[in-house]
Amino acid sequence: MEKAFVLVYAHKPGISAGINRWLHGFCRANPHFVPLDYVHPADPHLERVLEEALNEFNFPGLKMHFLFCPSRNASCTVPTFPSFRSTRRAPYKDV
């Protein structure tokens, strides 16, 4: 195996940025792993989390769960994400 994607999961709002920062450092130290950004649908700073991972860290893509159910009895909804356009110009350098 030459490369493998790392898929992480934020189980609650507000922790995506910290997980992505850890993932960025981990993949820089272990270049055979390729990071994918993860955002929680209810993250309070969703656009900033996306900008940091995709533009500053240059992650090649992202993972998100579109359906978010706070409990088994709650109805699931599709979250509304802010419009976001990556300004990334070069592919992830370690891929």
Q: What is the dihedral sign for C-alpha 43, 95, 57, 50?
A: negative
Confidence of residue 46 (pLDDT cuts 50, 70, 90): confident
Read off the pLDDT of residues 53-66 as tens digits, 9 standing for 90 and up. 888 999 988 887 65
Give SS3 for 48: helix
In Å, how far are 32, 37, 64 from 94, measured between CA atoms?
Answer: 8, 15, 22
More confident residue, 61 or 23: 23
Q: Residue 41: which of 17, 18, 10, 71 has the closest Cα?
A: 10
Confidence of residue 69 (pLDDT cuts 50, 70, 90): low
Confidence of residue 90 (pLDDT cuts 50, 70, 90): low
Cβ proximity of 40 and 75 under 8 Å: no
φ, ψ of residue 68 in degrees (nearest 5):
-125, 115
What is the model's pTM? 0.72
